Structure 1
Amino acid sequence: METVREICRGAAAVLAGFAVMAGLVVAALAVSGVPVSWAFVATVLGAAVGGGAVLAGSLDAGAVGAVLHGAVDVVPLAVSAAGALVFCAVLVGPLRLSARRAVGALAAIPAVLAVVVAAPDAVAAIPVPAGAGQAVREAPLVIRADTGDTVTGGLLTFAVLTGFCLLVAVLPNRRVVVTAAAAVPMALLLGGLVLAALAAAHRPALAAPALLLGANAVVLAGLGSSPVTLSGPLAAKLSSATGGLSGAGTFGVRLTAVLVLAVLIALVVATVPPGPDRRWPRAGRQALVAATVLAAVAAATSLAAAGSLTLGLQVLVLRADVLTAHLTPAAGAAALAGAVAGGLGGLLGSLMADIRWRDARVTATASGRG
């Protein structure tokens, strides 16, 4: 009976993670005014676990028809971060993670992914000119999830998360490791929610994109990236309209991101009882652990923020791409920022814990004498 309970808890962790992600997607669709449908929700869920999407539409204009084709590969990091946090929290819980619970999670992942990829194609209406009079009409744009990428990305993502949870269960300095690993997704989720709230207050049309992709902007501004590479006939117009696209943030933005992560880690590490170890060796050890873990998580998050977009047109037998965009993150810079933030947060948190618990012991001793 205990085995069945553990397996079910592992499966429940997967369902909880997808339920939270679906809730964020539904909220974004509701804010944007797009009708909430399982097709759109499933498409974004597929992107959140690393899958891409294929675009197809008909742009008929008069006697000559044009067919739009393309592909988009962008991970909505706020959705992914929320799902990862909830999945790990439910999977591990207050107790150590058992192998049976991990098996239940790994067994449930393919079933949930099968439901996601079996969703119908999402169809959106886009305005296009029709005929010589340039009257505007709505043309259907079909958004189809890439089944292979979605399944592969989902299996890999949840397998890595499950493996990390199993590893944390046997590692020393568990609180420091968990804090450093959770700092980045927590900051991304909060940053995305803040950007969405600001957009809703000032530019409501941007609220939904900010909710889904605000965390991506936080990563690119705080951890840095290479400039967006544009090519194709529409590249020059898009570049001039936007004033050039760059994912790199200023030094002040990056410094702020490092300090925010360091403060988050320090506040949590400060709650860990110091134990019998000497102050500075313990502080150095916790700083090293936090720096290593946060550097790895920051680099992985930066890589997940990479994206690409391809749009093309086909007229009769002629087929050509009109716009291609690629965003390449700076994983090395992200790892460096994570190492600095983790090391600083782990060191300060350990010293704060030493002071806090020393003062508590002094107070308890004085109370006993009184």
Structure 2
Amino acid sequence: MQILRGAAAALGATMAMAVLAVAALATAGLPVTWPFVATVLAAAFGGPATLTGSLDAGAMGAVLHGTVDIAPLALSAVGALIFSVTLQGHVGTPMPVYARRVLGAAAMLLIVLAAVVAAPDATMAVTVPAGPASASQDAQLVIRPDTGATLISGLLGFTVLTGGGALLTLLPHRRIAARAALTGLATPIAAGVAIAAVVATQRPSLAGVALLFGGNAAMLAGPSSITLGGPLADRLDPNYQLPDAAAGALAVPLILAAFVLATVPPGDGNRWQRAGRRALVAGAVLAVVFAALSLAGAGRLSLGLMVLILNAELLTVQLVPAIGWAALAGAAGGGLAGLLGSLMADMRRTGGGDRASHAAPAVGGR
């Protein structure tokens, strides 16, 4: 039974990512077919893809080439969140039970990864510069995920999630740590949805891209860089920037974290000792999670055109993480959420105690 639960956790996480991928593809006006869905899933598992193609007749010997190695962080976080919650259940799960669940999840993950990498290549039409001024030409671009890298990245992510879940069962204050970790995973999801909602009102054609990569923009905010280059980048609207929702979306999960942490009963010590302890644990966990998400959200996309022996870069997108800034933001936000959550938990306990004393005055008490 536990093995089946583990398998269901892996399958459910993949299905959730697939549904979000379909929504993003449909919003972006791309084909909602299995090759495209599988390509997005491969990227969510952390696998890079190669880009190849050729121009129509008239551009003798011209071929397109490139790579894309940017994981859609919102998608990856959805899968990680659903997988972790379903697999773990609660932090008090005995280790033998948890190990059997991990075994079932590993078997299902291998099946899922095999289906993803075995999918046909995704093909799409693109328009690229083909001469001076505004001349352009249509081309067929083939997107082919890297089989080996996708398998390795998927298994590595699985190891990190299951290993982190096992570690949480051994840590002190594990209920607080677990809730803080889940809040961290929810952050790029909230950012992606918030940014996509705003972008949909300004640039509807970019809403699908924002849904996939809005979480990357939020986790790479601050002193990190998001740079564009090449002729295709020049054709984008230079005055359009991601909405301020990227920064505001970070505050939403942290506010929710305070209320989630408030559900954990107060521990020993006085009010401020409990608040400090909870702030320390939540801040430390969120610092680690945010730093990991910043690293996972980084990457590079490049697309070039080669004619005979001449090569020209058409588009480059570089996402450089600021791991230190992300860790600092996580520590500050987690610490504040832990502090407020602890104080709210004390208020709930005090209020509950007062109501109980008024409701049953005849009962001898402390």
Distance in 1 between residues matched to 2:121 and 2:250, nearest whole Å: 41
**Structure 2 unmatched runs, 5+:** none
TM superposition shift of 1:109:
1.9
TM-score (norm 1): 0.87
Q: Which residue of 1 aligns with 2:62?
A: 66
3-state DSSP class of the match of 2:220? helix
Secondary structure in 2 aligned to 1:199? helix
Provide the C-alpha distance between the structure 2 equivalents of 1:131 and 1:302, rounded to a whole number of angstroms.
38
Q: Read off the aligned partner of 1:154 and give its amino acid letter.
A: G
Cα–Cα, structure 1 residues 245 and 156, in superposed 2: closer, same or farther, change >3 Å?
A: farther
Partner residue in 2 for 1:326:
318
5+ long unaligned stretches in structure 1: none
Instruction: Write the mapping of 1:204-243 to structure 2, written as runs, cut at 5 A.
Output: 204-221=204-221, 224-229=222-227, 234=230, 238=233, 243=238
> Aligned-pair distance for 1:320?
4.8
Deviations 1:97-120 (A, max 9, x none): 621111211232222111111111
8 A contact 2:214–2:246 mirrored in 1: no
CA distance in 2, matches of 1:344, 1:203: 35
Query: C-alpha displacement at 1:52, in angstroms?
Result: 0.7
Matches within 5 A, 1:325-364: 325-364=317-356
> Partner residue of 2:86?
90
How do 1:139-288 residues align onto structure 2 when only pairs under 5 Å count? 139-221=139-221, 224-229=222-227, 234=230, 238=233, 243=238, 256=248, 259-288=251-280
Work out the percentage of aligned pairs sharing the same amino acid: 53
Partners of 1:63 and 1:110 in 2: how far apart?
43
Partner of 1:16: 12
**Cα deviation digits, residues 167-226 of structure 1 (max 9, x gap):** 2223332321122111122232122122223333443211211111122222223xx243
Of 272, 275, 286, which aligns to 1:294?
Answer: 286
Q: Name the structure 2 match of 1:366.
A: 358
Note closer, same or farther for the CA distance 1:63–1:122 as it changes in structure 2 (3 Å cut): closer
Cα 1:114–1:98 shift into 2, 3 Å: same
The 2-side partners of 1:253 and 1:313 are apart by 33
State whether residues 218 and 250 of structure 2, in contact with CA within 8 Å, keep that contact through their aligned partners in structure 1. no
2:327 aligned counterpart, secondary structure: helix
SS in structure 2 of the partner of residue 287 of structure 1: helix
Instruction: Report deviation, 1:366.
Output: 1.9
Q: What letter corresponds to residue 70 of structure 1 in structure 2?
A: G
**Shift of residue 157, structure 1, vs aligned partner:** 0.5
Distance in 2 between residues matched to 1:243 and 1:207, nearest whole Å: 18
Residues 123 and 143 of structure 1 are in contact (CA less than 8 Å); yes or no, is this contact kept in structure 2? yes
Within 2, Cα distance between the matches of 1:203 and 1:322? 23
Over aligned residues, Cα RMSD in angstroms?
Answer: 2.8
Q: Structure 1 residue 352: deviation in Å?
A: 1.6
Task: Tell whether the 8 Å contact from 1:258 to 1:340 is kept in structure 2 after alignment.
Answer: no
Label 1:208 to 1:239 Cα distance change in 2 as closer, same or farther (>3 A).
same
* Matches of 1:212 and 1:293, distance apart in 2: 25
For 1:340 and 1:131, the matched residues in 2 are separated by 51
TM-score scaled to structure 2, two decimals?
0.88
> Are the aligned partners of 2:286 and 2:331 in contact in 1 as well (CA < 8 Å)?
yes
Q: Contact 2:220 / 2:298 at 8 angstroms: preserved in 1?
A: no
What code does the residue aligned with 1:177 have? A
